[in-house]
Chain A
Amino acid sequence: MRKISCRLLTAAALLAAAILLLASARGGLEGPGADVLLRFRLFRSLLGFLVGGSLALSGAIFQAVFRNPLADPYILGISSGAAAGAAAVFVFVPAGLLFLCVPAGALAGALATLGAVLVISGGGRSADRLLLSGVVTGIVVSSLLIYLISLSDSSQLAGVTWWILGDLQGATPALLAALAGLAAGILAAVQFFSNELNALAVGDEAAMTRGVAVRKARLFFVIAASLLASSCVAAAGIIGFAGLVVPHIVRLLAGSDHRRILPAVFLSGGCFLQLCDLTAVALSGAKETPVGVVCSCAGGILFLVLLAKRRRQA
């Protein structure tokens, strides 16, 4: 199957992102408070773009590092850690401080989980060991989350539950700037080392014969991808499937050479989440439909289509 040019895909994704950003403004902006509404919608779309792009990039990196197409940004238990951190804040922190503390708690939980995984696996000595440590740590931290939920009263429970479902409505300029800076920095760094990423994706020994310091490289990529995933979860809750399915689609269309596809992965992930968010808004009346629901449905369906395609070709 002839792949489409990667540059074409990157350009198309960029264009689509811009169009979706403008589309988010929609109509119905008459009357007082229209400027507030417009600003709110644009910020929300931007946050969706940054979170979707970061999750897709994180997923692509993990899939290469673990040589496993089923890896997603949360494979090392980061989502469980973030949820446990957020739950701890909801349960123990007095109400007045919740706005600041919940994202901080989620970030702290995610990073603590990453730290634990790295320590348990001996600093990423082998991909298998890292994966196993991640899965086990994730399970342990999930049980901590369940314990915290059992301690919560009804308003805390509502808080934890809705946080976990994911929400792009907390966009502020400061948050957007921070996320954009982090994503740009990590994208640039990973792009710079994309040769090493390709080499790792083939195998440890092969990578070593190609001059890659395998252990350091793996550590670098795992930390970069985890930082991306952690910041996304802290900013917007747990949004699944974007990081799993978007890299597959990009690789299907433009090949698996990470030297070329990383920007396209980021942009496509951003468009995907923007689109899911627009759909979620369209489905919401007064009640909110969490964007994670649309994302998982759309992502799940896309993934099934990809699987069917693979099976037909095999």
Chain B
Amino acid sequence: MPGGAPPEKGNGAMFSGRYRIFFILGGLLGALSSCLPLEAARIVSLSPAVTELIFHLGRGQDLVGRSSACDYPPAARSLPVAGDFARPSTEKLLALRPDVVITNELIVPAAANALRQYGIKVLFLPCRSIAEYRATCRAVGKVTGAEDEAKTEIERIDGFVRACAKWPRLDRNILCLIWFQPVLAAGENTLIRELIRLVGADCCGVQGATGYFKPSAEFLLRCGADTLLVFEDPALFRKHPVLRHLDAVKKGRVVYFPHGKLLERPGPRFTEGVLKLREALEK
């Protein structure tokens, strides 16, 4: 237990003289430790990426709950489910008695307030870029007490990024569509676009639209992308009344990437995803 000097043996002069400063420091540290989630014992992760990261850092045993979308590694599947991705069941969460709940987004912000009332810390770790992934690593490392492992992971990522920069550029102007009913495209500030650039391809301009957005038909027909990157069966996209007319679709330059999760999920395996994407685009 940090803080607090042992009382002087013998007489009861515990609070006198120079031991007083240690006692005060100890008290302060004790108070601080109740604010910062240092080495929390019980964590619920509502983000599949964070779940993977926690296992990757070797702290899987700290997890007491997951979201229904957390499916990797296999060991995670045996954890109790506390709700859907970004949509936890407050009751199930409370039953798990976590100290910290970690999530990328929360559909119902009121749920966070409700949890805080019960003394549960809620950590928002958005991860829409590699820089945010680094920050997530650091935060998760601190929560689980795995700071060294987190640092190693960050170094691994940095090394990977440096290696990618050495690859020859791919002559592709890509628009990534993540769903088809409705058509949802990846705009700025999404991890996918950064990863596409990392792989050495260009991203088609989106006129400033951020996040995953529904593109207008006009935009789709004029966006000038020569390749569509899709995560669903391309046949579905070819039947779409608007997409059907895109040059990329007509010329068959639709790249079907079945490992979409590796790119959408900002976890440790995104490097694997980037490698697979490079393979797919080189074909």
Contact = CB atoms under 8 A, between A and B. Distances in A.
Contact of A287 (B179, B213, B242): B213
B33 to A, nearest CB: 37
Given A159-B181, A285-B208, A169 B84 contact: no
B239 interface: yes
A285 B214 contact: no
Contacts of A281: 216, 218
7 contacts: A154-B85, A154-B86, A159-B181, A170-B241, A285-B207, A285-B209, A288-B214
Interface in B198-221: 206-209, 213-219, 221
Interface stretch (A30-38, A135-143, A215-223, A256-264): A30-38
Interface stretch (A4-12, A92-100, A114-122): A92-100
Interface string B161-194: 0000000000000000001111011010000000
Contacts of A169: 216-217, 241-242
Contact of B215 (A99, A163, A286): A286
Contacts of B247: 32-33
Interface string A244-276: 000000000000000000000000000000000
B236 interface: yes
Contacts of B221: 33, 36-37, 40
Given A102-B181, A285-B207, A95 B232 contact: yes
Nearest to A167: B182
Contacts of A32: 247
A73 B215 CA distance: 29
B214 A287 contact: yes
Interface in B111-165: none
A284 B213 contact: no
Interface residues of B, number: 34
Interface of A: 28, 32-33, 36-37, 40, 44, 90, 95-96, 98-99, 102, 153-155, 158-159, 162-163, 169-172, 281, 284-289
Q: Could you tell me the dominant secondary structure of chain A's interface residues?
A: helix
Contact of B217 (A40, A99, A163): A40
A286 B210 CA distance: 10
B283 interface: no
A172 B209 contact: no
Interface in B79-118: 84-86
Contacts of B233: 95-96
B251 to A, nearest CB: 11
B245 interface: yes
A99 B219 contact: no
Contacts of A154: 85-86
Nearest to B240: A99
Given A162-B214, A281-B216, A153 B84 contact: yes
- Interface centre among B181, B235, B247, by most A CB within 10 Å? B181
